Amino acid sequence: MARYILHRLLMMVPVLLGVMVIVFTIMYMTPGDPARMILGEGAKPEAVAQVRDELGLNDSYVIQLFRYVKNIVTRFDFGLSYNTRKPVISELLNRFPTTLKLAVLSVSISVLLGVSMGIISATRQYSIFDKLATSVALIGVSMPTFWAGLMYVIIFSVFLGWLPASGSYGWQYWILPSFTLGTHSAATIMRMTRSSMLEVIRQDYIRTARAKGQKEWVVILVHAMRNAMIPVVTVAGLQFGVLLGGSILIESVFAIPGIGKYIIDSIKSRDNPVVQGGVLLLALSFSLVNLAVDILYGFIDPRIKSRFRSN
């Protein structure tokens, strides 16, 4: 297992190097002069030239790329943000924990809601609950999170006054944003759990378990659920990975200082070091989540674990 993990971690190195070069090249080739974006369109040409010079933008592509990669590899230095002149790494690390927290909370809510509703729907197929849950899930998937977020704010903050509308100053501030994101992805997880469970509970070993006289909840939660979880874990893992990239709309609506809006704003303002560092961080976290999901497969299905050993 340890060897497998090490192997996967080593495999990430070329992936990250590739991401580094590709993102750098894309930002280099994108039209729009970062120096002018920093100073605004009213800036004097001399000032723009001064900034271009300070940022090293007059050097050739190869020199800029080499300097960028060298600084990261040798000194773990991602450079300074063009806009704020603060180290990119500290700018990103200031925001990443917030994004991580939101992602963990949202995925927990979506798994809790999605799996439990999915199981009930599958075991009570075509019942009122099933139809209701499937319809709610459909609505959940169809509602844009941006709009749903504003609606929740109007209901829970404006009308009822129960929860604060925006910010991130205490646990109650996290309820609405994580609920908005969580319910949205809960719908997908619910549908996935339902179809996966429906497949599993029709299998022979479930009939055998029932024939042994096993209680129904043991049959469902112990025998069936474990085998139905592989696709669910895949979907939840993917959603978690996506959420680690931040959710620009939710961050905007709830004024959460996360990474998503920051990277998008940096792309618009040509803050290249932030974009490059940010995308690298996302690639790294996505790779780690994928690895975690693969390891989790092993715990759910021992047959997969045995394959780790053979690797």
Partner 1 sequence: MSYLRKILHVLFTAAILIAASQPVIAAQSGTPKDTITVASGADPKSLDPYGTTDSPAGRIASQIFETLVERDDAGNIVPSLAESWEVKDPTTYVFHIRKGVKFHNGEELTANDVKFSFDKMSASPHASSVTGTIDFANSKAIDKYTFEMKMSEPFGPILNHLCHGVTAIVNEKGYTESGSAVNEKPIGTGPYKFVSWKTADSVTLTKFDDYWGEKAKVRNLVFRTIPEAASRVIEVETGGVDVALQVPPSAVSRLEKDKDIKIGIQETFRTDFLAFTCNKAPMNNVKLRQAINMGIDINAIQKVVFRGIGMAAIAPIGPSIRGYNKDLPHHEYNPEKAKKLLSEAGYPNGLKLTLTSDENQERLDVAEMVQAQLAEIGINLEVITLERGKFIDDVIAGNLQMFALGWTTNTGDPDYALYASFHTSMFGEGGNMSFYSNPKVDELLTKGRVLTDDKTRMEAYYDAQKIIWAEVPCVFYLHPQEITAYSASLKDFNIFPDGRSDFERMYF
Q: x/- site string to partner 1, residues 136 to 155, per CB under 8 A?
A: --------------x--xx-
Bridge partners (DSSP) listed for residue 216: none
Is the dihedral angle over the CA atoms 172, 100, 241, 83 positive or is it negative?
Answer: positive
Q: How far apart are CA 161 and CA 139, in angstroms?
A: 25
Q: Looking at 60-68, 115-123, 196-204, 291-299, which segment touches partner 1 (CB under 8 A)? A: 115-123
Q: Which residue number, 233 or 249, has a Cβ lying nearer to partner 1?
A: 249
Classify 56 in phi/psi space as left (phi over 0), alpha (psi -120 to 50) or beta.
Answer: left
Contact 258, 281 (CB under 8 A): no
Buried b (16+ CB within 10 A) or exposed e, 275-290: bbbbbbbbbebbbebb
Residue 261 found at the interface with partner 1 (CB under 8 A): yes
Residue 89 found at the interface with partner 1 (CB under 8 A): no
Residue 227 found at the interface with partner 1 (CB under 8 A): no
Residue 94 found at the interface with partner 1 (CB under 8 A): yes
Q: x/- site string to partner 1, residues 232 to 251, per CB under 8 A?
A: -------------------x
Which DSSP letter does residue 80 get? B
Q: Which of 76, 213, 217, 302 binds partner 1 (CB under 8 A)?
A: 217
Size of the site for partner 1 (CB under 8 A): 61
Q: Looking at 68-76, 163-171, 224-232, 239-247, which segment touches partner 1 (CB under 8 A)? A: 163-171
Q: Which of 166, 227, 234, 290 binds partner 1 (CB under 8 A)?
A: 166
Q: Which residue number, 48 or 293, has a Cβ lying nearer to partner 1?
A: 48
User: In angstroms, what CA-CA distances link 298 with 29, 118, 144, 295, 304?
Assistant: 43, 23, 35, 5, 5
Residue 229 found at the interface with partner 1 (CB under 8 A): no
Amino acid in the structure at residue 167: G
Q: Which residue number, 180 or 287, has a Cβ lying nearer to partner 1?
A: 180
Residue 115 found at the interface with partner 1 (CB under 8 A): no
CA atoms within 13 A on the CB side of 309: 5
Which DSSP letter does residue 155 get? I
Residue 55 found at the interface with partner 1 (CB under 8 A): no
Nearest CA to 244 among 140, 16, 89, 92? 92
Q: x/- site string to partner 1, residues 18 to 37, per CB under 8 A?
A: ------------xxxx--xx
CB of 66 to partner 1, least distance (A): 24
Amino acid in the structure at residue 158: V
Cα-only R_g, the chain: 24
Which DSSP letter does residue 83 get? T
Q: Which residues bind partner 1 (CB under 8 A)?
A: 30-33, 36-37, 39-48, 50-51, 54, 83-86, 91, 94-95, 112, 116, 119-120, 123-124, 150, 153-154, 156-158, 161-168, 172, 175, 216-217, 220, 251-255, 257, 261-262, 268, 270
